[in-house]
A and B are shown apart, each in its own frame.
Chain A
Amino acid sequence: EAGVAQSPRYKIIEKRQSVAFWCNPISGHATLYWYQQILGQGPKLLIQFQNNGVVDDSQLPKDRFSAERLKGVDSTLKIQPAKLEDSAVYLCASSLGSPLRTDTQYFGPGTRLTVL
């Protein structure tokens, strides 16, 4: 069974530029999560989708971050414009059922973003 795929693996941009990350979850997984992991900290949930609907986006900085999950499968996370403090690893995860079921989350390898 293929795992969660993310691309790109690494991205370097200058502040005020825009960037997009892509995630392909495990086939059949209803719930998709985006996390931000700053160096030395644990992952922080940015947004979670169940199928193509947003379940929680309370920690997403909506003035610069956006995410979508069209057709309930792949997802993209965008930052526009980027700030220095956005430098982090962006993790995508997926789980089989509803987040309320506490199913195991499967994580992708992450995208390491450096903002100069």
Chain B
Amino acid sequence: GDSVTQMEGPVTLSEEAFLTINCTYTATGYPSLFWYVQYPGEGLQLLLKATKADDKGSNKGFEATYRKETTSFHLEKGSVQVSDSAVYFCALINTNAGKSTFGDGTTLTVKP
């Protein structure tokens, strides 16, 4: 079946540091890829997505590029802020079946 593997956390960074959270996947066909974020005390919300190879999703300074050759969708941000502290989930939708699969999440803490 489909699977998503994220780098283990927690990740602790200082404000303005560069962020990378690794995500790799296995899936049949050509899945669509997503990053969701869960801020403390809030529900899951979509951060960005990419629906085909070489697409780059971006939002709020975060970026991720759909790399089919390495089956990866790493999340990056050039300069993190304290307000970026949250749990980040990588996910895919198998477009053959419309079924969602999530990674286990990576907790990011940004210190001032």
| Across-interface contacts of A91 in B (CB, < 8 A) | 43-44
How far does the Cβ of A94 sit from chain B's closest Cβ, in whole Å? 12
Nearest chain-A residue to B93 (Cβ)? A102
Contact of B98 among A3, A35, A98, A110 (CB under 8 A): A98
CA distance A18 to B43 in the complex (A): 25
- Max chain A C-beta neighbours (<10 A), residue from B32, B46, B99, B101: B99
CB of A41 within 8 A of CB of B32, answer no
B45 touches A107 (CB 8 A): yes
With A100-B95, A102-B51, A102-B95 already in contact, the answer to whether A45 and B44 are too (CB < 8 A) is no
- Chain A residues with Cβ below 8 Å from B101 are 45
- A108-B43 contact given A42-B102, A42-B104, A44-B102, CB 8 Å threshold: yes
Interface residue count on the A side (C-beta < 8 Å): 27
- Contact status of A105 and B98, CB under 8 A, knowing A41-B104, A42-B91, A42-B103: no
Q: Kindly state whether residue A48 has any CB partner on chain B within 8 Å.
A: yes
Q: Chain B at the A interface: mostly helix, strand, loop or mixed?
A: strand
B44 touches A48 (CB 8 A): no
Pairwise interchain contact A43-B93, C-beta atoms closer than 8 A? no
The answer for the CA separation of A109 and B39 in the assembled complex, in Å, is: 12
Pairwise interchain contact A100-B89, C-beta atoms closer than 8 A: no
Determine the residue in chain B with the shortest Cβ distance to A59: B99
Indicate with 1 or 0, residue by residue over B72-93, a CB within 8 angstroms of chain A CB atoms: 0000000000000000010101
A43-B44 contact, Cβ under 8 Å, with A102-B32, A102-B49: yes
Determine the chain B residues whose CB is within 8 A of the CB of A4 once the complex forms: 43
A45 in contact with B104 (CB, 8 Å): no
- Chain B residues, CB < 8 A from A42: 4, 89, 91, 102-105
Could you tell me the distance between the alpha carbons of A55 and B32 in the complex, rounded to whole angstroms?
Answer: 18
Could you tell me which B residues sit within 8 Å of A by CB distance?
4, 32, 42-46, 49, 51, 89, 91, 93, 95, 97-105
Would you give 6 A-B contacts (Cβ < 8 Å), ordered by A? A42-B103, A45-B99, A98-B98, A99-B100, A102-B32, A102-B93
